[in-house]
Amino acid sequence: MKRLKSNLLLRYADKYVSIDDLPMYNWKKIHDTDELKWLFVKKQEVENNELLERRWAAIYDEYLNEFGLSQEYKEILKVKRKIANLQADYIIKGNRITLNYINIEKNALESLYDSSKKGSSFRESLVHLEKMQGIKINTKQITVADYYNYLRSIKNNNNG
C-alpha cells in the first residue's frame, strides 16, 4: 500500500517542469542537498528516483542551454581533462616523470577550486541583485530563469 501511494505521488503530484517555474529557493536546495524532493510544488518526503532524476536532468539541460557553463567551471573542466590525459599517458607509456606533471595539474585544480569558493556566493549575488534592482527578492517566488536573466542583464550592463 505504501509503495502504491509513493508511485501515485510520483506520477500525479505537481512538480516543477522548467527553469521558468522552478523557484530559486528550490534550485538552491537541490544543489545544496542533492535531494530531488524539492522538485515538488508542495513539500513531499520522497527519495531520489529515476523519474525525479530525469525531471531534474531536463530542467538542468534547459538551464545549460539558456545560460551555459560559467567561465570558472569551463576552466576546471579543462584542467580535469588535462589530468585525465596525463594519467592515460602514464598508464600507456609508464614514464614516471608524467606523475610530476599530474601532481602539478592537481595543484592547479585545487587552486581553481579554492578561487571559485572565494567568488561571490549565492547570498552575495542575491544582495547585489537586490541592490541593483532596488527591491527585496523572495527566493521562494523568483524563478531560476528570472534570477539568472537579472544577473545576465546586470553583467551585460556592467560590460557595455
> Taking 80 as the threshold, does the pLDDT of residue 111 lie above it?
yes
Q: What is the pLDDT, as a whole number, of residue 65? A: 94
The Cα–Cα gap between 130 and 111 comes to 30
* Mean of pLDDT values over 103-130: 80
Ramachandran angles phi, psi of 23, nearest 5°: -70, 150
The Cα–Cα gap between 129 and 127 comes to 5
Beta bridge partners of 23: 143
Q: What tens digit of pLDDT does each residue of 46-84 get?
A: 899 999 999 999 999 999 999 988 788 889 899 999 999
pTM, two decimals, is: 0.71
Find out whether 150 and 157 touch, Cβ atoms under 8 Å.
no
Q: What is the pLDDT, as a whole number, of residue 151? A: 83
Helix (H) or strand (E) holding 132: helix 122-133
At 160, which amino acid appears?
G
**How much of the chain, in percent, has pLDDT values that exceed 90?**
54
* Mean of pLDDT values over 150-160: 76
Q: Where are the domains of the chain?
A: 1-68+121-160, 71-118
